[in-house]
Amino acid sequence: MSDDTRSELYAELAAVGPYGTHPGHALITLVEPHPGHEYAYNRWYEDDHYYAGAMAMPWMYAGRRWVATRDLQLLRYPEKSAVAQPVTTGCYLSTYWITAGRYDDHMRWTVAINKRLNRDGRVYHDRTHVLTAFQAHEATVYRDGATGPCDVHALDHPYAGLVLQVVEAGAPEQRPQLLEWLRSRHLPERLADSPAAMVTVFRPTPLPGDRMTYVKQVEGVDTRLTLLWFLQADPRECWETFFTGLDTAVGESGLGRVELVAPFIPTVPGTDRYVDRLR
């Protein structure tokens, strides 16, 4: 293997292109380690893949892992979900921000590095990708306006929990209307006096044709929206009050339906905390 890292190209690339802090895209990946592999998967992801397969890549500048213990899994709805079958599937959620305007650059690197990781035996295959999608940022709605942390801080701020919500528009032409209803009416009303400080809204983008074969192509590219609710309280403490009935509200809008509402708490990096509470 050559030691030539072509260092001179780094100076050239740093001098061109966008380099703001706005999260233009996200990688959102919901994964289920296979039974009996929970500890090994957690150590591989935390010790190696979180860095080598994500944070060390160009333009991916923030990340956080979340976990759903069994009691949190049992709060999910609807029972019949187009995302997770059964709806409790997917113990771990990872979320990453990608610099606006750098999606194509990042994708070239991520496809290449994942091929290299596979070749070098650094990919843990005893897992199932329930939902893995790169997503374009559409909106962020804040509870407190400009007084709290912004979306750029969301993956570094010590939030106590996160709720993943996947919404499906009735038809592709309805998605812009669904987005506008969420942004201007539904989310501001739901956020008021709630433990959620903000909601970020994304739309999924297709994975490249040369993606890893164990990651399925993204569904609902023309119809779905993915919402991340960032909570200042443990989701178990506020679930009944604030997070039941999201499917009813969306259904009553006539613009779409909810396919998943799933609560998580943050992992504790460098530990196996919660691994014994997944089943």
Q: pLDDT (tens digit, 9 = 90+) per residue, 136-185?
A: 999 999 999 978 899 999 999 999 999 999 999 999 999 999 999 999 99
Residue 217 has pLDDT above 60, yes or no: yes
Give the C-alpha separation, 121 to 34, whole Å.
18
Residues 6+ apart with CB under 8 A from 70: 88, 277, 278, 279
73, pLDDT greater than 70 = yes
Residue in 250, 258, 79 with CA at minimum distance from that of residue 164: 258
pLDDT category, 2, cuts 50, 70, 90? low
Q: Do 228 and 197 contact (CB within 8 A), yes or no?
A: no
**Per-residue confidence (pLDDT) for residue 214, from 0 to 100:** 58
Rounded Cα gap, residues 67 and 30, in angstroms? 10
> What single letter denotes the amino acid at residue 222?
D
Q: How far apart are CA 226 and CA 164, in angstroms?
A: 7
Confidence band (pLDDT; 50, 70, 90) for 83? very high
78 upstream amide cis, omega within 30 of 0:
yes
- CA nearest 273: which of 1, 14, 42, 44? 42
Q: What number does CATH give the domain 19-266?
A: 3.30.70.100
Q: Return the HEC string of the chain.
A: CCCCCCHHHHHHHHCCCCCCCCEEEEEEEEEEECCCCHHHHHHHHHHHHHHHHHHCCCCEEEEEEEECCHHHHCCCECCCCCCCCCCCCCCEEEEEEEECCCHHHHHHHHHHHHHHHHHCCCCCCCEEEEEEEEEEEEEEEECCHHHCCCHHHCCCCCCCEEEEEEEEECCHHHHHHHHHHHHHHHHHHHHCCCCEEEEEEEEECCCCCCCCCCCCCCCCCCCEEEEEEEECCCHHHHHHHHHCCHHHHHHHHCCEEEEEEEEEEECCCCCCCCHHHCC
Under the banding of pLDDT at 50, 70 and 90, the label for residue 245 is very high
At 29 the pLDDT is 97
